[in-house]
Structure 1
Amino acid sequence: MTLKQTLDTHSAIQAVIFDWAGTIVDFGSFAPTTIFVEAFKLGFDFEITLDEARQPMGIGKWDHIQAVGRIPSVASRWQAQFGQAMTTEDIDKIYAAFMPLQIAKVTDHAEPILNAVEVVNNLKAKGIKIGSCSGYPRQVMDVLVPAAAQYGYYPDYIVATDDLPQGGRPAPFMALKNAIELGVTNVKCCIKVDDAVPGIEEGHNAGMWTVGLLLSGNEAGLTYQDYLHADQATLHSAREKARSKMLAAKPHYLIDTISDLPQVIVDIERRLALGEKP
């Protein structure tokens, strides 16, 4: 059975709102994490690990840098190296280093994750609108969006983390802005798909169904080649590592990658027909 055959020709679902890195593009969410490591090094000659860079993933990038600085292991090393806690001015300097690096390199990670374009196009064929939002600021999205379009990914609406004055995740504003602009009449007929806890919380706060991704995203931290060549034991370990973190946000569904989304769509359609709500 093909992905297209698993979906009916009509749906009660009005919109699906996708995250970007680790969800639609950039298997493993490496574009932002590796750049955070570089930005700390460039801004202050300070070392953080890739695992530390991943911990606050999903929130806006300035807030992400602040959150990394508050990780106990990072805060301790920062105090030892500089004799004081990280300041707002320090965060500004790291963010200033981060932005040009991210803009320069985000296109290297713009290729859609396996089957993402097919899944999205099948949803569109059912009349489902495709929204999107990201922890990336608008400057980065202005580079990433046309790069992803070259691979065939065209969401109907896009919100960057700094587009709205109310702020980003886990608040619901980016998801709700998508719903407004896409003409959604009932948020219970929307689905938020994300690979990080703040994005799932965003979906809950917006009153939507939520779907967490385990193997393509930030929490598993696998490259696409890792994923392709991993044995079942390795995949199980990565899956459970991600599951242990994602369960904190209580997603309605947890799946490996966007390839598994069509089956979730069918089940949510069934539940909506029964009168269920997120």
Structure 2
Amino acid sequence: MSISMRQDRPNKNVAGPVQAVIFDWAGTMVDFGSFAPTQVLIDAFAGFGIEISLEEARGPMGLAKWDHIKTLGQSPDIARRWIARHGSAMTDKDVDALYAAFLPLQIERVGQYSSVIPGALDTIAGLRKRGIKVGSCTGYPRVVMNPLLDKARGDGLVPDHAVATDDLKPGGRPGPWMALANVIELGITELSSCVKVDDTAPGIVEGLAAHMWTVGVALSGNEVGLTLSELERISDAEREQLKGRAAEKLFAAGAHYVIDTIADLPQVIVAIEERLAHGDRP
């Protein structure tokens, strides 16, 4: 276990203790390695005669899924494959068609990949003992979020609030709206007393845009992209190398802290509350 912290100069204004933590879902609380979105995207593109790799599918992770698909279609390599197969560049109508193919597959399979990440239940129970509320948001639309919530409840994971990417008209990440919707619903009085936890760069940017502390998740998330069993089989040196690369991307996005998995979050909450007590703000 390790925790890293961004080095910068704090903005000193008085704020209270941590009031809420806003979690991402896949790669953060459930779905170690974030496979539910990526595998289905690969299958959806295959249905249109386009082969994409797991690494390519992971690239825009954190965005709303329609935006994710469009971003993939605009990447140079995939765009060339699409033109070679279909004779012209991907249009918004093509994105609509891909999304329509993706959605039922995602609804069907989200539960298959979304086991609770080790340490999540204990961490959330510990937050509640400290009087901290538990919010959440996701790149999934509501029709995917609802079966995911049902699966999570059955596993004992019950957030105080959950926002799907299509619940709000302004849209999803990297804008701050889903994080701020949690603030409103949970009755939070100070943005700088909130912590956003996410395994993707757009999720970190979301938290910063909402003026929250941000915590990146490296080993269980999209940037490393391995199952727990795969991660346990590799050497310590390889694991550290993968973690370092993931942390670099999350820090580059603006993360204040980077942890291995959600199990390491309690120590960061203590550190943030100490900083808040000294007048620091994100």
**TM-score grouping bracket, smaller chain normalisation:** over 0.9
5 Å-filtered alignment, 1:13-92, equals 13-42=18-47, 44-92=48-96
Amino acid at match of 2:159: P
Cα RMSD (Å) of the superposition?
Answer: 1.0
Matched residue, 1:227: 231
Structure 2 residue aligned with 1:179: 183
* Contact 2:18–2:194 (CA under 8 A) maintained in structure 1: yes
TM-score (norm 2): 0.93
Please state if 1:245 is matched with 2:252.
Answer: no
* Segment of structure 1 superposing worse, 49-58 or 73-82: 73-82
Amino acid aligned to 2:28: T
Query: Partner letter of residue 41 of structure 1?
Result: A
Quote the residue 2:272 is aligned against.
268
> TM-score under structure 1 normalisation?
0.94
Whether the aligned pair in 1 keeps the contact of 2:49 and 2:85 (CA below 8 Å) is no
- Post-superposition Cα deviations, 1:193-246, rounded to whole Å, max 9, x if no partner, equal 000000000000000000001110001111111122222112112112212322
User: Which residue of 2 is the match for residue 4 of structure 1?
Assistant: none
Given candidates 195, 203, 219, the residue that maps to 1:215 is: 219
Counterparts of 2:175 and 2:25 in 1: how far apart (Å)? 17
Q: Which amino acid aligns with 1:245?
A: K
Partners of 1:263 and 1:107 in 2: CA distance: 30
2:171 to 167, 171, 180: 167
Q: CA deviation at 1:79?
A: 1.6
How many residue pairs are counted as aligned between the two chains?
Answer: 267
Distance (whole Å) between structure 2 residues aligned to residue 151 and residue 106 of structure 1: 14
Which secondary structure does the structure 1 equivalent of 2:156 belong to? coil
Give the aligned residue type for 2:201. Answer: V
**Structure 1 unmatched runs, 5+:** 1-10
Q: Distance in 1 between matches of 2:158 and 2:251?
A: 30
Match for 1:274: what amino acid?
A: H
Which whole-Å CA distance do the structure 2 matches of 1:88 and 1:217 have between them? 29
> What are the equivalent positions in structure 2 for 1:56-135 lying under 5 Å apart?
56-135=60-139
| 1:6 aligned residue | none
| 1:5 paired residue number | none
- Aligned mates of 1:231, 1:124 — CA distance in 2: 36
Query: Shift of residue 247 of structure 1?
Result: 2.4
Unaligned runs of 5+ in 2: 1-15
Q: Which secondary structure does the structure 1 equivalent of 2:221 belong to?
A: coil
Identity over aligned pairs, percent: 55
Q: Which moved more, 1:230-239 or 1:204-213?
A: 230-239
Where 2:280 maps in the other structure, the secondary structure is coil
The match for 2:152 among 144, 148, 151 is 148
The higher relative CO (CA closer than 8 Å, separation ≥ 6) is in: 2
Question: Are residue 256 (structure 1) and residue 265 (structure 2) matched?
Answer: no
SS in 1 for 2:192: helix
Shift of 1:81: 1.8
Distance in 1, matches of 2:81 and 2:190, equals: 48
- The answer as to 2:20 corresponding to 1:12 is no
CA distance in 1, matches of 2:117, 2:265: 13
Q: 1:24, CA displacement in angstroms?
A: 0.1
**Counterpart residue identity of residue 128, structure 1:** I
| Separation (CA, whole Å) in 2 of partners of 1:193 and 1:273 | 21
